[in-house]
Amino acid sequence: MSIAGLTIIGESINDSVPSTHELFEKNDIAGIVELAKSQAESGAAYIDVNIGLRSPGFMANIIKKIQEYISLPLSIDTPDPEIAAAGLEAYNPERAGKRKPILNSISQARMQMFNIYKKQPFIPILLVTEGAEKNGDIKMNKTAEETHATAKVMMNIARQHINNVSNNEIILDPGIMPIGSDSDGNFKRLINSINLIHQDADLKGVNMSVGLSNFTVMLPSKRADGSPVKGPLESAFLTMSMPLGFNTIIGSVKRKYSLLPDDHPAMQCLKDVLELEGFDIIMRVMSFYS
């Protein structure tokens, strides 16, 4: 299920998952707890909790209920500072072997989320796909150099807010987009961003993570010959990125991630994608699964 050196944050308790959304709508707390337990039993290192647009009180209750049954640390996943605060304040480190939770994710547009650290220390995931311009406007980073520059800015901000924090207590998220519609070359930006971060001595030892299922969303489950599509492409990404210091995913504990040989068709596909531009990228991915 897992690769040595790869930390998996179990992704299933997320409002964007239709079956989980239904559990939330029914207030089926027992069903949510079972999702947490099954991921813990299947090798997750953390359990992600994303309740969507529900109330801070709902998040607090979910955190408390999950911690009654599992001893893994949790990842509080929300862009809403109030929901984040409620989840972190409800979190009990004693129930997780005194381990800190993760807070996913802080960007330059959400700097106030660092203020919660004083009430409940956490491991921050810093979103570096968007950066602030000189006038304060937030824009999406379109190049590896822009992503790397935002990573350096966000790391310095984290150091200002968290006393004596070390690089290995921070996670950077350089962003991953669906490979099946990547006419803008985001995969190339991502791999080059990871490489620039890896080469930067000031960022040595920092963790890097993405929501890996986003990479293959909307692709078919099987190739024309009946072999899987998504798992191999996700594994190919890990094979290419882990030697560059990438080490964490929000992902599925059911997926059989593995390191692939260079001649694997999924590896050949992603290597070709790095050399292509525009619609040719989409056509190359289609040729992999058709």
- Spell out the per-residue pLDDT of the chain, length 290, in tens: 479 999 999 999 999 999 999 999 999 999 999 999 999 999 999 999 999 999 999 999 999 999 999 999 999 999 999 999 999 999 999 999 999 999 999 999 999 999 999 999 999 999 999 998 888 889 999 999 999 999 999 999 999 999 999 999 999 999 999 999 999 999 999 999 999 999 999 999 999 999 999 999 999 999 999 999 999 999 999 999 999 999 999 999 999 999 999 999 999 999 999 999 999 999 999 999 99
Number of other CB atoms surrounding residue 211 within 10 Å: 21
Contact assessment for residue 47 and residue 70, using Cβ atoms and an 8 Å cutoff: yes
Structure letter (DSSP) for residue 180 = G
pTM above 0.85? yes
Question: Can you tell me the distance from the alpha carbon of 101 to that of 64, in angstroms, rounded to the nearest whole number?
Answer: 13
3-state helix, strand, coil in the chain (%, to 5): 50, 15, 35
Question: Can you tell me the distance from the alpha carbon of 131 to that of 146, in angstroms, rounded to the nearest whole number?
Answer: 8
Question: What are the DSSP calls for 6-40, one per residue?
Answer: -EEEE--SBTTSHHHHHHHHTT-HHHHHHHHHHHH
